[in-house]
């Protein structure tokens, strides 16, 4: 009996020791990458895909032999569309799991919630979604579009190619549409559009009764001058909006709607009939005809084991961002965030539209701008694109208060909020 | 900056084709074949050229091809590089050769790719086809053709229209033609002709007339009238006043309709709750999710019967009722019956159920929204005139809401279940003493309320997203309507829903959607302070029960 007990004790000790050794050994052998995307709650609709994209990219990198001779290991957490939980999960990833970089967030409010944590613990966050700008953090890399890489070119297209004279700026009532519309209004006025030719309208999240707003848009657009809607309406409210447009007989030929938040993924859940001909501005379309893109689509469909799944713009942003991070780590020879932050500036990585994107000193990247018309198969036909890549601008040049401000994370400025007039870096870090 | 076409290769190709056509065979169809070959090229500039070529050919086949192109029925068979015109039959395409019209059998959807169009090409095509169809035999087609040209009629088209007017017999087409010409006459050099045109057009509710009149009375930057003739200006101003009066009436009608249809959605969402919350006193936070289940039922029905859109939506109504009712009964039997008389616990438990149902749907159908198509007869609008149109889907939902309401009323008034439900709601212990199986009645009542939520979900699937979050957006509104209308009173729910809808729509134009919603909420809070039992409070002993 006693022997058994001793044996048991020995066994337990040896198991415990080997377990410690094993986890220790594993921690030595892998580089951890945090994936911070909501897998439940309202934002799961968009963010789940990005989690899968990251897992696919990491998987692919491991097949190529990993990074710095080690395997990459994804640490997936679920912040459940709950903004404060984003901060908690980010802290957990950085302190408990000790990840080398985090890829995550979708809404601006989730990013703002993560910011203080990531700056305090000096981590690295890659943010893949188009956003309102007016921010540049030492620790965040913005691989989505800044307003000058999406909104401004889209308005230019409407103004120059479609000769639009009257503008409806419609958006959901939160920070991204409000800031974007502020920039757009200032831009339109600077181009000589009078205030009475601009109609601004905000609606609550998930708004579903668009009857009177669409009737207003119709009236606004019936004066004989060409009218267009620039829509920053967020995901879920879009279907009832386009349905109402279709039902009230507002076609894309009469009043085109230029959307900034409607992509292939959103379209796959919509009845596309009323949307045909409406426009969207992005930096990537699944329909772009390049070999890189064809490979990526093939890889994605195989990975997700569903031939019907689509790719979209934020996925491409993660693709570019991840490759940039890999290159920066190789360049720095370490995954230490401070070294990576320094090394990544100037790093170039191919994007899926046939060009090569570059990480700029303001932590934004260069991107092409594409404008597409929606087709009834849920894909876009590119009708216009910039002939070269556009540099992402953190601080808009069309808002008087941020015109003199630049972000530059290289010496000697080393500041995300540097006023070129007063030559001072504002104390605000983000 | 523009999208770069493939000029060089196309040029080369067309030269090659030309050589080919000369050397091999130069039959009559050759120009048509060339034009169609160009349409196949990816670039929109080529496509535009090809369309113009097709028009210039004056080949009767051109019109057929262009119509197919506009309708999205012109396809390429992958691999064969052959242009075909397709009809969608039973999830497959029945294809015909675009040139010879020979039947080529059926192809499935993956074997073909569509010739895409941009907005510019689409509107060009519409004009071109309008021109070609101006002399069609069918007056409906002629009318559409005339209307397609109404906005951008230039000199050449106007001559065409005048020619047509001389021989036109159909009164509707004739009127449309006359209107376009009169509108043009407003710009003529002859003053009397202009005044005559204004006088005869002012009774028409036509937005082009309205805009034209507005330009006549406009002032330029210095405050001078653009139009120098004061007689014409005065006539135009008088005409404008008349039109504006009519416009005000139309906009009032429109707002009331918008209000009623928003109200109908609110009533539909709330009416099931009026049963479970109003009659049974259960605070069911999973009510929205029961609607979501109804909406997903519609989606599944459409997946089962993809070719019969209309019927599948109609069949979804009983299906959604049954499925939601079953889920409701399961919730009642499994959870709620242990919690009667403990409203706080019920609230928390049903909230948990709602999260559970949402995540279940996410796991089964993915977190993405599902696309539910709207049948043909429910889309579009009833265009009364240029300024007033009522959308069909809202119209049907309004009708549907009233039908559901009266059906429910009949069930409660004239069936045995209704009698038992009312008895249990009024006095549970007495009802039990009279031999009514209260537990069974509870389950059935809850099932009835849930089933109606499911039916509401079918209606919602036609106007909003079908996704896991569908229910959340309606739960607050539903409670609001029930509380405002008076708990336990179905008629109150109806009146409350409609009045909230109309109030919301009258506030929206000047307050904005966000503020209108807040104002309505504030109003309800104040109202509840004054009359805690809502619009139609229950009277008598039942009120204290």
The answer to which of A74-83, B101-110, B269-278 has the lowest mean pLDDT is: B101-110
Residue B26 has pLDDT above 70, yes or no: no
Of the pLDDT bands very low, low, confident and very high (cuts 50, 70, 90), residue B321 is: very high
| Residue A204 CB burial class (10 angstroms; 0-12, 13-18, ≥19) | middle
Running DSSP on this structure, what letter comes out for residue A334?
S
pLDDT of A23 reads 46
Smallest Cα distance from A204 to chain B, Å: 6
Residue A369 has pLDDT above 90, yes or no: yes
* Between residues A209 and B160, the one the model is more confident about: A209
Of the pLDDT bands very low, low, confident and very high (cuts 50, 70, 90), residue B46 is: confident
* Cα–Cα distance for residue pair A156/A219, rounded to 1 Å: 24
Q: Which candidate from A213, A248, A385 shows the least CB-CB separation from B389? A: A248
User: What is the distance in angstroms between the CA of the first residue and the CA of the last residue of chain A?
Assistant: 66
pLDDT tens-digit series, residues A106-119: 988 899 999 999 99
Which residues of chain B are within 8 Å of residue A256 when distances are taken between CB atoms? 119
pLDDT of A26 reads 47
Which residues of chain A are within 8 Å of residue B256 when distances are taken between CB atoms? none
pLDDT of B73 reads 82
Residue B25 has pLDDT above 90, yes or no: no
Residue B17 has pLDDT above 60, yes or no: no
Smallest Cα distance from A269 to chain B, Å: 5
Please tell me the CATH code under which domain A32-146+288-370+391-430 is placed.
Answer: 3.40.50.2300
Percentage with pLDDT > 70 across chain B: 91
According to CATH, the topology of domain B252-376+389-544 is ABC transporter involved in vitamin B12 uptake, BtuC (1.10.3470)
pLDDT of A128 reads 96
pLDDT of B340 reads 84
pLDDT of B135 reads 74
pLDDT of B9 reads 54
pLDDT tens-digit series, residues B227-239: 777 777 788 888 8
Mean pLDDT over residues B420-439, rounded?
88
pLDDT of A389 reads 92
Q: Which candidate from B44, B373, B381 shows the least CB-CB separation from A271? A: B373
Q: Which candidate from B373, B464, B509 shows the least CB-CB separation from A216? A: B509
The answer to which of A270-274, A337-341, B19-23, B410-414 has the lowest mean pLDDT is: B19-23
Helix, coil or strand: residue B110? helix
Smallest Cα distance from B424 to chain A, Å: 37
pLDDT tens-digit series, residues B492-503: 999 999 999 999
Mean pLDDT over residues A53-57, rounded?
96
Give the burial string for B411-422 (b: 16+ CB within 10 Å, else e).
ebeeeeebebbb
Edge-to-edge strand ranges of the sheet holding A380-385: A198-203, A166-172, A227-232, A257-259, A279-282, A370-374, A380-385
Give the burial string for B35-68 (b: 16+ CB within 10 Å, else e).
bbbbbebeebebbbbbbebbbeeebebbbebbbb
Contact B118 A373 (CB under 8 A): yes
> How many Cβ pairs closer than 8 A exist between chain A and B?
145
Which residues of chain B are within 8 Å of residue A387 when distances are taken between CB atoms? 1
Running DSSP on this structure, what letter comes out for residue B112?
E
CA atoms within 13 A on the CB side of B156: 3
Domain regions of chain A by residue span: 32-146+288-370+391-430, 151-259
Residues of chain B within CATH 1.10.3470 domain(s) are 252-376+389-544
Contact B374 A271 (CB under 8 A): yes
Residue B387 has pLDDT above 90, yes or no: no
A153 interfaces chain B, CB cutoff of 8 Å? no
DSSP string, B285-335: TTHHHHHHHHHHHHHHHHHH-TT-HHHHHHHHHHHHHHHHHHHHHHHHHHT
Taking all residues of chain B, what is their mean pLDDT, rounded to a whole number?
82
pLDDT of A320 reads 96
Of the pLDDT bands very low, low, confident and very high (cuts 50, 70, 90), residue A430 is: very low
pLDDT of A413 reads 84
Smallest Cα distance from A235 to chain B, Å: 10
Superfamily of structural domain A151-259: Response regulator (3.40.50.2300)
pLDDT of B82 reads 78
What are the start-end ranges of the E strands in B208-261? none
Closest-CA residue of chain A to B471: A206
Mean pLDDT over residues A34-45, rounded?
85
pLDDT of A20 reads 45
Mutate to test the interface with B, among A162, A178, A202, A208 (most CBs of B within 10 A): A208
Residue A80 has pLDDT above 90, yes or no: no
pLDDT of B182 reads 78
* Cα–Cα distance for residue pair B397/B403, rounded to 1 Å: 10
pLDDT of B150 reads 67
Which residues of chain B are within 8 Å of residue A222 when distances are taken between CB atoms? 207, 210-211, 386
Q: Angle CA(A405)–CA(A409)–CA(A414) in degrees, nearest 5?
A: 80
The angle that helices A44-63 and A313-332 make with each other, rounded to 10 degrees, is: 40
The answer to which of A19-33, A248-262, B172-186, B274-288 has the lowest mean pLDDT is: A19-33
| Residue B187 CB burial class (10 angstroms; 0-12, 13-18, ≥19) | exposed
pLDDT of B316 reads 94
C-alpha dihedral (B401, B404, B405, B407), degrees to nearest 10? 160
Residue B354 has pLDDT above 50, yes or no: yes
Residue A104 has pLDDT above 80, yes or no: yes
The answer to which of A20-29, A311-320, B136-145 has the lowest mean pLDDT is: A20-29
Mean pLDDT over residues A293-312, rounded?
92
Query: What are the phi and psi torsion angles at B340 (to 5°)?
Result: -60, 140
Adjacent-strand bridge partners of A199: A168
Mean pLDDT over residues B411-421, rounded?
91
Residue A282 has pLDDT above 80, yes or no: yes
Residue A21 has pLDDT above 60, yes or no: no
Adjacent-strand bridge partners of B103: B96
Smallest Cα distance from B492 to chain A, Å: 23
Residue B260 has pLDDT above 80, yes or no: yes
pLDDT of B317 reads 95
pLDDT of B138 reads 79
* Between residues A94 and B242, the one the model is more confident about: A94
* Between residues B504 and B95, the one the model is more confident about: B504
Which residues of chain A are within 8 Å of residue B116 when distances are taken between CB atoms? 375, 381
Contact B513 A203 (CB under 8 A): yes
pLDDT of B319 reads 96
Residue A225 has pLDDT above 80, yes or no: yes
Residue A53 has pLDDT above 80, yes or no: yes
pLDDT of A50 reads 95
Please answer whether residues B425 and B302 qualify as being in contact, where contact means their C-beta atoms are separated by less than 8 angstroms. no
Of the pLDDT bands very low, low, confident and very high (cuts 50, 70, 90), residue A6 is: low
pLDDT of A24 reads 43
């Amino acid at each position: 009996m006693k022997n058994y007990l001793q044996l048991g004790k020995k066994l337990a000790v040896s198991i415990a020791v080997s377990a410690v050794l094993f986890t220790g050994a594993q921690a030595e052998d892998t580089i951890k990458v945090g994936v911070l995307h909501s897998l439940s709650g309202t934002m799961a609709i968009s963010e789940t895909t990005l989690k899968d994209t990251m897992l696919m990219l990491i998987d692919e990198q491991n097949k190529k032999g990993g990074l710095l001779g080690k395997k990459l290991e994804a640490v997936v957490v679920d912040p459940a569309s709950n903004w404060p939980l984003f901060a908690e999960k980010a802290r957990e990833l950085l302190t408990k799991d000790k990840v080398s970089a985090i890829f995550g967030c979708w809404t601006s409010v989730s990013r703002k919630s993560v910011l203080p944590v990531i700056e305090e613990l000096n981590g690295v966050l890659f943010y893949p979604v188009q956003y309102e700008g007016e921010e540049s953090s030492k620790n965040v890399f913005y691989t989505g579009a800044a307003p000058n890489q999406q909104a401004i070119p889209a308005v230019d297209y409407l103004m120059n190619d479609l000769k639009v004279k009257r503008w409806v700026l419609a958006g959901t009532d939160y920070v991204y549409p409000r800031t974007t519309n502020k920039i757009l209004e200032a831009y339109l006025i600077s181009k000589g559009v009078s205030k009475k030719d601009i109609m601004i309208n905000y609606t609550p999240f998930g708004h579903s009764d668009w009857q009177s707003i669409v009737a207003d848009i119709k009236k606004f657009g019936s004066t004989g001058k060409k009218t267009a809607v620039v829509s920053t309406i967020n995901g879920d409210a879009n279907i009832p909006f386009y349905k109402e447009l279709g039902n009230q007989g507002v076609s894309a030929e009469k009043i085109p709607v230029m959307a900034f938040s409607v992509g292939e993924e959103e379209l796959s859940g919509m009845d596309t009939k009323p949307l045909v001909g409406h426009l969207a501005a992005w930096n990537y379309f699944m329909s772009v005809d390049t070999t890189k893109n064809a490979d990526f689509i093939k890889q994605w469909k195989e990975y997700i084991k569903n031939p019907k799944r689509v790719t979209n713009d934020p996925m491409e942003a993660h693709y570019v961002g991840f490759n940039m991070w890999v290159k920066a780590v190789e360049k720095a020879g370490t995954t230490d965030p401070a070294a990576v932050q320094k090394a990544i500036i100037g790093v170039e990585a191919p994007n899926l539209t046939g060009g090569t994107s570059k990480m700029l000193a303001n932590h934004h990247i260069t991107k092409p701008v594409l404008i597409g018309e929606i087709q009834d198969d849920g894909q876009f036909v590119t009708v216009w694109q910039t002939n070269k890549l556009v540099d992402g601008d953190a601080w808009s040049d069309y808002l008087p208060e941020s015109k003199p401000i630049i972000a530059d994370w290289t010496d000697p400025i080393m500041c995300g909020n540097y006023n070129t007039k007063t030559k001072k870096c504002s104390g605000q870090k983000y | 900056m523009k999208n770069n076409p493939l000029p060089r290769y196309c040029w080369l190709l067309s030269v090659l084709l030309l050589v080919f056509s000369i050397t091999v065979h130069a039959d009559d169809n050759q120009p048509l074949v060339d034009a169609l070959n160009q349409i196949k090229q990816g670039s929109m500039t080529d496509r535009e050229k090809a369309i113009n070529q097709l028009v210039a050919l004056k080949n009767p086949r051109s019109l057929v091809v262009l119509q197919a192109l506009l309708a999205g029925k012109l396809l390429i068979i992958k691999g064969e590089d052959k242009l075909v015109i397709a009809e969608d039959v039973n999830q497959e395409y029945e294809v015909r050769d675009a040139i010879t019209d020979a039947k080529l059998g059926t192809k499935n959807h993956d074997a073909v790719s569509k010739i895409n169009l941009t907005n510019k090409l689409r509107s060009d095509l519409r004009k071109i086809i309008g021109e070609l169809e101006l002399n069609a035999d069918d007056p409906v087609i002629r009318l559409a053709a005339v209307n397609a040209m109404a906005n951008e009629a230039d000199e050449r088209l106007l001559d065409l229209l005048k020619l047509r007017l001389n021989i036109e017999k159909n009164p509707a087409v004739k009127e449309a033609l006359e209107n376009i010409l009169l509108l043009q006459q407003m710009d003529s050099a002859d003053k009397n002709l202009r005044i005559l045109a204004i006088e005869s057009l002012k009774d028409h509710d036509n937005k082009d007339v309205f805009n034209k009149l507005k330009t006549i009375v406009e002032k330029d930057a210095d405050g001078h009238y653009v139009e120098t003739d004061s007689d014409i200006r005065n006539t135009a101003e008088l005409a404008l006043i008349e039109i504006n009066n009519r416009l005000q009436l139309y906009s009032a009608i429109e707002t009331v309709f918008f209000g009623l249809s928003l109200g109908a959605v609110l009533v539909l969402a709330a009416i099931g709750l009026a049963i479970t919350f109003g009659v049974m006193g259960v605070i069911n936070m999973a009510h929205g999710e029961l609607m979501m289940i109804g909406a997903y039922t519609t989606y599944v029905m459409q997946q089962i019967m993809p070719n019969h859109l209309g019927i599948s939506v109609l069949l979804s109504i009983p299906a959604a009722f049954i499925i939601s009712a079953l889920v409701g009964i399961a919730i009642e039997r499994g959870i709620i019956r242990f919690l009667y008389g403990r409203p706080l616990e019920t609230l928390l438990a049903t909230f948990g159920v709602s999260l559970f149902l949402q995540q279940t749907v996410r796991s089964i159908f993915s977190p993405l929204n599902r696309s539910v198509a709207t049948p043909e007869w429910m889309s579009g609008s009833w265009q009364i005139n240029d300024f007033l149109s009522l959308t069909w889907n809202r119209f049907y939902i309004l009708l549907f809401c009233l039908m559901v309401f009266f059906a429910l009323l009949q069930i409660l008034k004239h069936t045995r279940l209704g009698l038992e439900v009312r008895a249990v709601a009024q006095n549970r212990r007495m009802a039990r003493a009279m031999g009514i199986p209260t537990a069974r009645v509870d389950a059935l009542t809850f099932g009835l309320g849930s089933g109606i939520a499911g039916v509401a979900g079918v209606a919602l699937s036609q106007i909003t997203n079908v996704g896991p979050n569908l229910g959340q957006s309606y739960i607050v509104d539903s409670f609001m309507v029930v509380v405002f209308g008076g708990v336990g009173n179905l008629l109150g729910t109806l009146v409350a829903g409609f009045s909230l809808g109309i109030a919301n729509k009258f506030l929206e134009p000047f307050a904005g959607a966000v503020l209108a919603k807040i104002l309505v909420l504030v109003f309800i809070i104040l109202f509840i302070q004054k009359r805690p039992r809502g619009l139609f409070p229950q009277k008598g002993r039942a009120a204290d029960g």
